[in-house]
Structure formats: structure tokens, C-alpha cells
Amino acid sequence: MKSEHLYNYILGIADNSLILGQRLGELCGHGPSLETDIAGTNISLDLIGQTRSYYQYAAKISGENKTEDDIAFLRLERHYKNVLLVEQPNTHFGFVMGRQYLFDVFHLLLLKELQSSKDETLAAIAKKGIKEVSYHKRFSGDWVKRLGDGTPQSAAKMQEAIHDLWPYTQELFDMTDADTAMALEGVGVDVSKLKKA
Amino acid sequence: MDNNWPLWEIFVRSKNGLEHRHFGSLHAADEEMALENARDVYTRRNEGVSIWVVKSSNITASNPENNGELFEPAQDKVYRHPTFYKLPDDVKHM
């Protein structure tokens, strides 16, 4: 394999989008209204679409004759590298929007940095994803504000969701071995620096 | 939930230079949400470059019961259409 670290680095980014995309996909047909249902499923499809680009690239450098589907589906659960935030189960709509917003803010910061990666493929995937993720953040952020400013019940539920989700945000900024190695080479992003942003 | 949300009429301009056309309607709590919902419901397959949202209650519509007096008098006045002119081949979109 060309680079074990690069392979793991790509999966570290892509698995977050895959798992969050799947979580949102579970809600297809179950949204609180037709309009929000379509919006959530749109975001899910955006994320899974981005995941495909990453996995296709990972499959290419794996040197093992793998396909994107092998990487997406043929792993045991412990081999997925996603952060715990994105796999938190869907409970209520406010929770789903809170989870989305916390991830979207991080995701946008990450992609903005990643577009200056020395790795041209990663830079191109990041560049393409930024517009999608900007909209995700706008949508989820509007809902967090809307529910927070809404009725006492919606504000309490939103506050509780953020309270429950917040401890999972620290992990977004933890550097894995692959993160450290790739950041040193100018390929990856030093996520520990994003925390201040 | 959407029982409480007002109805909005959605107009989308599909290309620069063309007019906004009525695409349909949807529910949303306010104009911002209506715009976002319209984006997701009506433009996810690259249908648009601009969206207008108008609260349905702000539209005054003609009453179908009045169709007789409003529209039928025009039916036998074909001369009000400029169909008796010869159109040059170069003119498109008439």
C-alpha cells in the first residue's frame, strides 16, 4: 500500500460522513413534515455522495483490488473510524438537528482547511463538498435557533440535546496517528487547531 | 406539526433570462424556512437559479364561479390574438 497513514486518514474523514448519512437515512419517510423529511434525506445523500469519493480514492491506493463498496460495507463495526458524535441514535428532531449542527460546524472548518491539502484528490473532494456542507450548516443552524427560540418545550428539548451531545465534540479535535502523520506531510489537517476557530 | 404552518406558493426561475414560474406549494413556519424548504423540495435536481416564496394567503384569486362573466366573453373574439400576421422565421419564443 502506498501509505497506510493516508488510507487510514481518508477513512477517518469518510466514515464520519458515512455513519451520519446512514443515521439521517434511517429517518427517510419519518420526518416531522414532508419538507423537513426531504431536506434531511438530501443532507444524507450529500454525505453519502462525499463518502463515495473518499472511498473510491481509498480503494485506489489500497493496492488490494478493493472497491468503494468493500470499504463501505465489508468491515466489522470496530474497524469504522467515525467519531461517536455521528453515530448517536436518532431520538427526536431537535436532537437530530443538534447533532447535525455540531458536526456541520466542524465539517466545514475541516473541509476549508483540507482544500489546501498537498494531496490533489483530497483537495478536490474538499472543495466540492464545501458548498454542500455550508448549506447543511445553514439548515441545521436555523433549526437549532428556531427550536431554541420557540416554545418553552422546544427550547428545553434543544438545550437538553446540546447538553447530551456536547461531551462528544471533544473527540472531533483528537489527533489520531494518521492525523498527525498526514498533518506533518501537509496532506492532512491539524484538527486540534480547529478547536479555537 | 405542519398543520400549524401556513402554506407558501413557490416560484422558481429555471434559467437566467426566463421568468419565475409557479412550481407548487409547501408548508413552512416563516419566509426563511419556506425558502430553504423550497430549495430542497423543488430545486434538488438542478431546476433553478432563483426562488420566490409568497404566502398563499397573500394571493387574491379569482372565483371559479365567476368564470362565465370573466372569461367567456373573450372566447369568440379570435381577432384579439395577433394570429393573422406572418411571423418571420428568425423570431422565436412567440
Domain spans of chain A? Answer: 4-170
Q: Give the whole-number percent of chain B exceeding pLDDT 90.
A: 56
**B1 and A142 in contact by Cβ < 8 A?**
no
Q: Reduced to 3 states, what is the DSSP secondary structure of residue A88?
A: coil
For residues A120-131, average pLDDT: 96
**B2 and A139 in contact by Cβ < 8 A?**
no
When pLDDT is cut at 50, 70 and 90, the band that residue A197 belongs to is low
| Residue bearing the bigger pLDDT, A146 or B88 | A146
Give a yes or no: residue B72 inside a domain. Answer: no
Backbone phi, psi, residue B23, to 5°: -105, -25
Residue B44 belongs to a domain with what CATH number? 3.10.20.520
For residues B55-65, average pLDDT: 94
Give a yes or no: residue B77 inside a domain. Answer: no
Q: What is the DSSP string of chain B?
A: -TTSSPEEEEEEE-STTSPEEEEEEEE-SSHHHHHHHHHHHHSTTS--SEEEEEEGGG-----GGGHHHHHGGGTT-GGGS-TTSPPPTT----
Residue of B nearest to A150 (CA): B29
Average pLDDT, chain A: 94
Contacts of A53 (CB under 8 A, 6+ apart): A125, A128
Q: What is the DSSP string of A98-120?
A: HHHHHHHHHHHHHHHHHTT-SSH
Q: What is the pLDDT at residue B3?
A: 64
**A33 and B32 in contact by Cβ < 8 A?**
no
* Nearest-neighbour CA in chain A from B74: distance (Å): 40
Q: What pLDDT digit, counting tens, does each position of A53-69 carry? A: 999 999 999 888 899 99
Q: What is the pLDDT at residue A1?
A: 46
* Nearest-neighbour CA in chain B from A166: distance (Å): 26
CB-based contact, B5 to chain A, within 8 Å: yes
Q: What pLDDT digit, counting tens, does each position of B8-50 carry? A: 999 999 988 899 999 999 999 999 999 999 999 999 888 899 9
**A39 and B40 in contact by Cβ < 8 A?**
yes
**B36 and A39 in contact by Cβ < 8 A?**
yes
Report the b/e string of A150-160 with b at 16+ CB within 10 A. Answer: eeeebeebbee
- Tell me if A33 sits within 8 A of A94, measured CB to CB: no
CB-based contact, B20 to chain A, within 8 Å: no
Least confident of A26-35, A86-95, A133-142, B65-74: B65-74
Q: Which of B40, B42, B47 is most worth mutating to test chain A (most A CB atoms within 10 A of its CB)?
A: B40
Give a yes or no: residue B73 inside a domain. Answer: no
Give a yes or no: residue B81 inside a domain. Answer: no
Closest among A123, A37, A149 to B37, alpha carbons compared: A37
Give a yes or no: residue B85 inside a domain. Answer: no
Counting the structural domains of chain B, the total is 1
CA torsion angle A134 A178 A193 A16 (round to 10):
30
Q: Other CB atoms closer than 10 Å to residue A33's CB: what's the count?
A: 18
Considering just the CA atoms, what is the radius of gyration of chain A in Å? 17
| For residue A7, pLDDT beyond 80 | yes
Give a yes or no: residue B86 inside a domain. Answer: no
- Interface predicted TM-score (ipTM): 0.75
- What are B21's strand-pairing partners? B12
Q: Reduced to 3 states, what is the DSSP secondary structure of residue A80?
A: coil
Residue entry with cell 433553478:
B48
DSSP A194: G
Give a yes or no: residue B93 inside a domain. Answer: no
Q: What is the pLDDT at residue A2?
A: 52
Expressed as residue numbers, the domain containing B16 is: 1-59
Please give the CATH superfamily to which domain A4-170 belongs. Ferritin, core subunit, four-helix bundle (1.20.1260.10)
